[in-house]
Structure 1
Amino acid sequence: MMIPTKKYAKAAKIAPKGFDTANEFFEFVFNDKEIIWMGQNTNHLHKENQIRDAMLSCVESREYAKYPPPEGFPELKKLILKDLNLEDSDILITAGGTESLYLCMNDILEPHNNVITCDPGYLIIDNFASRFANEVRSVPIYSSENGYKLTPELVRANMDENTKIVVLIDPLNPLGSSYTEEEMKEFAEIAEENDIYLLHDITYKDFARKHFLAADYAPDHAITIYSFSKICGMAGLRIGSIIGASNIISSVRTILINDLGTNLIAQAGAIAALKSKDDWIKEVITTTRNNQKIIKEVVDEIPGAFIPVYPSEGNMLAIDLKGTGINPTEMVEYLLERKIFVRQGTYTSNRFGDNYFRVSFSIPEEQVRTFVKEFRKAIDFLRKN
């Protein structure tokens, strides 16, 4: 007997050329140790530091044989709130920011609601929202007129009495745009005036030169999504948190699936990461920003190519190839054959994916220099063919 497909079922990921499934592709890039990893905004700049040592100690002690506290170790929760200066908020530890996003959509949305997101953006959020709301209003933001981001003006123009959540990915994956304090204050006014929620995904916050928390301006209407995947270099460990007013988090507690707690080894690493942050963050940020400059210099040399948002406030940026006549998918395939993993625009945009491809650059500088060398060659080759 066939199980009917849910209305919100994710579309199957399109496998890159030469692979039968997306999973087969990701296994390939994961297992190839020579691949330069610029396709998932991951951070490869951490060395043998306190984060690694704490997780090794957890393994050696075999503490992983026990279950952790179901909502996370109190020490970790306190450290996250201190990191954000949100000590008066409530918090849950989750298996990554993605789980936090899902929990929010599940808990808050009703069938008559709509959610405002942006395109380009992190499309899994749209999928989660579609499971519980009547409509997802994905606002096109790929324009210099609005700074390549979802502005307060665009939110006001697209919301109605059924709008329940406005999603702010800040800095924005894939473009790296971020918000000023004035913009965040206006978002807060919108949320309070209309009794709606700002879902503030701050996964890339620590890469930004300046960053403003929605929770500082609308504490009762902001939900903060926190992740250790990027700045802490812990993407494969799947750990994050959801932070908000006590009534919000108490409601989310009623729908938790992961009732036996989040990965114990990951929590040990997360505690060490926050305790040691001052020891390593400057080097990670400096290298990341210098790498971005190297990429920008090369893109500026190529007629028809440009970077929509520079400097990016994240550890990724988009390279627009529309003016070159080159299909970004062909660029991605060319670079993969040369062991450089970048991401086609269709992964983060339904409307504009044929304009750009995305590269992340929290990797060693020599790998970035390999990328720009091969990128130049790719431009010449793909233009001729």
Structure 2
Amino acid sequence: MPKISKKGIDMPASPIRKLTPFADEAKKEGKKIYHLNIGQPDIETPAGMLQALKNINFKVWAYTPSEGIASYRTKLAQYYNKLHYNITANDILVTNGGSEAIIFAMQACLNPGEEIIIPEPFYANYNGFACSSDIVVKPIMSYIENGFGLPPIAEFEKLITEKTKAIAICNPNNPTGYLYSREELEHLKELCLKHDLYLFSDEAYREFCYDGREFISPMHLEGLEEHVVIFDTVSKRYSACGARIGCLITKNTALYQTALKFAQARLSPSLEGQIAAEAAVDTPDSYFQAVSKEYTARRDTLVQGLNAIPGVFCPNPGGAFYVVAQLPIDDADKFCQWMLESFSHHNETVMMAPATGFYSTDGAGKNEVRLAYVLKQEDLKRALECLREALAVYPGRTIS
């Protein structure tokens, strides 16, 4: 029998999706599951996006340019320039989801065996993208005690070697919801300039900042233009995860042209996705204001509810729609599986993502879970009730 590749064996399973078979079995048993494991919002997609799809009338479903449709990139540049990014359409490469943008950047900026530093916990698929690109993730620990703030720059310095080529952040952060400050980004700027590093910034959750807090992008920092690579997507901003349209943004012309070669190899991003995404740029501000208000209420419901459960600690995030909570349990992977296989409260249970999958450091996150507040408040309250009851009877509870 032919053997599987080493890369295939090393490719990590998704902590977000790996418990799906257990959830499927629980549903067959008649249990209702509150899905807090995945960032699939229940917020309605803007009507303009959906109408654009309904209005499609092309006669041939053709390729688009590898870099994306010019009218969409032009319109997208206008959107970013309202946010003071000071870019042109020629700085934007349209991709099949934000995931492809990250892969293109890793492959264009790093040679096999070179290293990228990422504060952990981090979006689990970064590990998978790095594996497929033959590069090495060097994790740097952030801590729940201070809400997962940026680690001290001195700790970054300890990790930098001749193989280090980039630093990556997700802002606001998935999975922690942490929103990086201007001061933290200025520190990263100085570090990248000092060591001539790329700074990757995943901004999928840019619109989700709460309590009047300011969003700062590396694009706002003068002097870093040749170093910055932005990743973005319509998935979260417009609650359009299935559209699979993202983009890579950089003012570094050589990098853009290199990434474009990878884009040409995969031919083109989807035509219908770009049509919908172009229409989405016209979404009124009132849509985002309503969404932000709703997510703020959901965040408050979840965070306050979690911290009211004995033995649970959850920092209050400044953005995105995730929290990482510390639970009084022995093993998050076992607990999340047990919740689906062996527990129900009024025939209901909760699906969560074990935080271990968001760390590269062995053993980290063993008593932490990520929860996405993508359900309406009533469902969040029911999920919290299930979690409270589950922790009271879980055999691996660590606090009496």
Q: Give the Cα separation in 2 of the matches to 1:151 and 1:384.
A: 34
Tell me the SS of whatever aligns to 1:100: helix
Q: Give the Cα separation in 2 of the matches to 1:257 and 1:76.
A: 18
2:219 is equivalent to residue 223 of structure 1: no
TM-score (norm 1): 0.86
Q: Deviations over 1:225-247 (max 9, x none)?
A: 00111121111221100000122
The residue number in structure 2 matching 1:375 is 387
The match for 2:250 among 244, 257, 280 is 244
Deviation at 1:67, TM superposition (A): 2.5
2:59 is equivalent to residue 55 of structure 1: no
Change (3 A) 1:29 1:247: farther
Number of corresponding residues: 377
Tell me the SS of whatever aligns to 1:242: strand
Tell me the SS of whatever aligns to 2:316: coil
Q: Give the Cα separation in 1 of the matches to 2:138 and 2:15.
A: 27
The residue number in structure 1 matching 2:67 is 71
TM-score (norm 2): 0.83
Q: Give the Cα separation in 2 of the matches to 1:193 and 1:133.
A: 25
The residue number in structure 2 matching 1:83 is 79
Q: Which amino acid aligns with 2:273?
A: A
Change (3 A) 1:210 1:258: farther
Q: Which amino acid aligns with 1:226?
A: D
Q: Deviations over 1:32-80 (max 9, x none)?
A: 996543211122111562222222223xx35672323322122322233
Tell me the SS of whatever aligns to 1:198: strand
Q: Deviations over 1:272-330 (max 9, x none)?
A: 222114131111111111011111222222222111x3134111101110xx2354335
- Say which is worse superposed, 335-344 or 171-180, in terms of deviation: 335-344
The match for 2:329 among 316, 325, 332 is 325
Change (3 A) 1:219 1:56: same
Q: Deviations over 1:332-367 (max 9, x none)?
A: 345546254321212212432312111111332222
Deviation at 1:184, TM superposition (A): 0.9
Task: Tell me the C-alpha RMSD between the 2 structures.
Answer: 3.1
Deviation at 1:84, TM superposition (A): 2.5
The residue number in structure 2 matching 1:185 is 186
The residue number in structure 1 matching 2:309 is 302
Q: Is the 8 A contact 1:113 1:164 kept in 2?
A: yes
Change (3 A) 1:333 1:135: closer
2:279 is equivalent to residue 272 of structure 1: yes
2:145 is equivalent to residue 149 of structure 1: no
User: Structure 2: any 5+ residue segments left out of the alignment?
Assistant: none
The residue number in structure 1 matching 2:320 is 314
Q: Deviations over 1:156-187 (max 9, x none)?
A: 22212331011111122111112111111221
Percent identical: 20
Change (3 A) 1:366 1:172: same
Q: Which amino acid aligns with 1:362?
A: V
Change (3 A) 1:383 1:132: closer
Q: Is the 8 A contact 2:94 2:269 kept in 1?
A: yes
Matches within 5 A, 1:7-46: 7=7, 9-11=9-11, 13=13, 24=21, 35-46=33-44
Q: Is the 8 A contact 2:199 2:229 kept in 1?
A: yes
2:357 is equivalent to residue 347 of structure 1: yes
User: Structure 1: any 5+ residue segments left out of the alignment?
Assistant: none
Q: Which amino acid aligns with 1:44?
A: D
Q: Give the Cα separation in 1 of the matches to 2:130 and 2:14.
A: 21
Change (3 A) 1:3 1:379: closer
Q: Give the Cα separation in 2 of the matches to 1:29 and 1:227.
A: 32
Deviation at 1:379, TM superposition (A): 2.2
The residue number in structure 1 matching 2:372 is 360
Q: Which amino acid aligns with 1:304?
A: G
Q: Which amino acid aligns with 1:13?
A: A
Q: Give the Cα separation in 2 of the matches to 1:133 and 1:279.
A: 43
- Say which is worse superposed, 130-139 or 46-55, in terms of deviation: 130-139
Q: Give the Cα separation in 2 of the matches to 1:30 and 1:312.
A: 34
Change (3 A) 1:29 1:100: farther
- Say which is worse superposed, 72-81 or 189-198, in terms of deviation: 72-81
Q: Give the Cα separation in 1 of the matches to 2:147 and 2:35.
A: 31
Q: Give the Cα separation in 2 of the matches to 1:114 and 1:15.
A: 23
- Say which is worse superposed, 43-52 or 231-240, in terms of deviation: 43-52
The residue number in structure 1 matching 2:94 is 93
Change (3 A) 1:64 1:169: farther
Q: Give the Cα separation in 1 of the matches to 2:276 and 2:349.
A: 30
Deviation at 1:374, TM superposition (A): 1.7
